């Protein structure tokens, strides 16, 4: 019998796949990933997916523009280094990006299991580098 998973299981699964996708996206051809907010380099496996706006905001939880690879220290010990994080995103996307994010924060977002499944399939279908 196939076990039916609930919404929170799929959300967790989506976090995992999205994280893999982001860490891969910014990895070089040797599988090395630079932390977005410090000088540290790590492998795809050891780096984490950092969120500029924290994960509690579902509207940007799975947004490419809100997420970059980070080392464990920046992501977990230094509160995500959000000031540097946001400043760097603004260098990439323009100054108005900080207001965009601020607005997106309040967009009510709900995902169904089907939404998560489709998102997961999309990230899975992106070519991945070899994980080390």
Q: Which residues bind Zn ion (CB under 5 A)?
A: 35, 38, 40, 71, 74
Give the torsion through C-alpha atoms of 25, 28, 31, 33, to 10 deg.
-70
Q: How far is the CB of 79 from Zn ion (least distance, A)?
A: 12
Decide whether 74 or 101 has the Cβ nearer to Zn ion. 74
Nearest to 48 by CA among 30, 62, 33, 60: 33
Whichever of 71 and 89 has its CB closer to Zn ion, that residue is: 71
Minimum CB distance to Zn ion, residue 50 (Å) = 8
To Zn ion, the closest distance from the beta carbon of 45 in angstroms equals 16
Whole-number Å distance between alpha carbons of 81 and 51: 10
Question: Which residues, in sequence order, are CB contacts of 99 under 8 Å at separation 6+?
Answer: none
SS3 content of the chain, % helix, strand, coil (to 5): 50, 10, 40
Q: Which is nearer to Zn ion, 27 or 35 (CB)?
A: 35
Supply the minimum distance, in Å, between the C-beta of residue 118 and Zn ion: 32
Which of 71, 119 has the CB closer to Zn ion? 71
């Amino acid at each position: 019998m196939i076990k039916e998973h609930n919404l929170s299981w799929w959300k967790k699964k989506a976090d995992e796949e999205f994280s893999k996708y982001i860490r891969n996206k910014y990895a070089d051809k040797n599988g090395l990933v630079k932390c977005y907010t410090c000088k540290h380099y790590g492998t795809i496996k050891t780096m984490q997916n950092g969120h500029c706006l924290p994960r509690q905001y579902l509207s940007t939880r799975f947004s490419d523009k809100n997420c970059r690879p980070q080392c464990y220290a920046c992501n977990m010990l230094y509160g995500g280094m959000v000031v540097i994080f946001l400043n760097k995103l603004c260098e990439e996307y323009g100054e108005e990006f900080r207001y965009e994010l601020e607005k997106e924060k309040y967009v009510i977002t709900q995902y169904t299991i089907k939404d998560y499944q489709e998102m997961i399939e999309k990230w899975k279908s992106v070519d991945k580098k070899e994980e080390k």
